C-alpha cells in the first residue's frame, strides 16, 4: 500500500466516523454544524441573522434549534436542539501548524428549503 492510498483510506475512515456528528444548519442559507455536546451544535454565526433555525441530520430528520449564544468576534454560534441525541465529534490530538487538516461538512444537495 502506498502512502497516498493509506492517506486516502485514513481520510475516508475519518469522514465516515464524523458523518453522524455533522449536521446541516438552515437559516439565512445552509451551512454545516458540528455536534459538540448533548443537543449542542457549533456553527457559523454570520448565517444566523434571526433565531429561526432548523437543523437537518444525516438521515434527513429536521429539528428546531434555538440560538444559545453568539460570538461575532470568532464568527461562532452555539445552537441548542432539545431532544437531539447525536454523538459529539471528538478529535484525538491537537493539530500542529503544518499538519494536514480535513474539513467535513453537510452540503444542501437534494435538500429542499
Strands (E), 27-75: 31-37, 40-44, 53-56, 62-71
> Residues 14-48: pLDDT tens digits?
888 888 899 999 988 889 999 999 999 999 999 88
Averaged pLDDT of the chain: 87
Delimit the domains of the chain by residue range.
19-80
CATH tag, 19-80: 2.40.10.10
Cβ-contact 26, 55 below 8 angstroms: yes
Q: What is the pTM of this model?
A: 0.80
| DSSP H or E segment with residue 22 | strand 22-26
Amino acid at each position: 500500500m502506498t502512502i497516498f492510498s493509506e492517506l486516502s483510506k485514513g481520510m475516508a475512515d475519518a469522514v465516515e466516523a464524523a458523518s453522524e456528528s455533522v449536521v446541516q444548519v438552515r437559516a439565512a442559507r445552509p451551512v454545516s454544524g458540528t455536534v459538540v455536546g448533548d443537543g449542542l451544535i457549533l456553527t457559523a454565526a454570520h448565517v444566523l441573522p434571526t433565531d429561526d433555525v432548523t437543523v437537518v441530520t444525516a438521515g434527513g430528520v429536521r429539528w428546531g434549534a434555538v440560538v444559545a449564544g453568539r460570538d461575532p468576534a470568532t464568527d461562532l454560534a452555539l445552537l441548542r436542539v432539545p431532544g437531539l441525541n447525536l454523538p459529539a465529534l471528538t478529535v484525538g490530538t491537537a493539530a500542529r501548524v503544518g499538519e494536514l487538516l480535513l474539513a467535513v461538512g453537510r452540503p444542501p444537495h437534494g435538500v429542499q428549503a
